[in-house]
Amino acid sequence: MVDRIYKAAAERNKTVTGKVNLWMAVCEGGEKSVEKIDKGSVTMCYGYKDGNEGKRQGEIVYNKTSENLVEISLVYADLLEKHRELSSIDSINWKQMFVQWANDFETVNEGIDWNHEDYLEKIEKFARHKILEYAGLEG
């Protein structure tokens, strides 16, 4: 599992974090370096640099971005019924992408007056496109 996370992070040149085998995470700027793959190095680290492993990291709040995250997750669940192959992609990758897309949706739609636009229609269309594109089911 760690190899898949490592490879996914290297391919996307992104940071991937998650609770994997005793708080082992794939992250940038960690304490243990690993070999380079295609697009640069990905670093392995164990625990949190600030010593906060096992401690609550903060409370999530309900806001526009968290609402986007929930809506994107619901679209994924709906698509999963029709496209079982979505489940072949590691859930950690999906989680990372959902968070990124929730932020991207806010950036792309900054300044939109939702009193004159259909939020649910727009977020569902956005999420559907991103999910299918990421899975290689839409070009």
Task: Summarize pLDDT for 33-80 with one digit per residue, the tens.
Answer: 333 333 333 344 444 455 666 677 778 889 999 999 999 999 999 999
> Are 123 and 72 in contact, with CB atoms under 8 Å apart?
yes
* Residue 78 backbone phi and psi in degrees, to 5: -65, -45
Within 13 A of 129's CA, how many CA atoms are on the CB side?
8
pLDDT recorded at residue 14: 44
b/e sequence 91-112, b meaning 16+ C-beta within 10 Å: ebbbebbbeebbeebeeebeee
Lowest mean pLDDT among 1-5, 65-69, 72-76, 132-136: 1-5
Give the whole-number percent of the chain exceeding pLDDT 90.
55
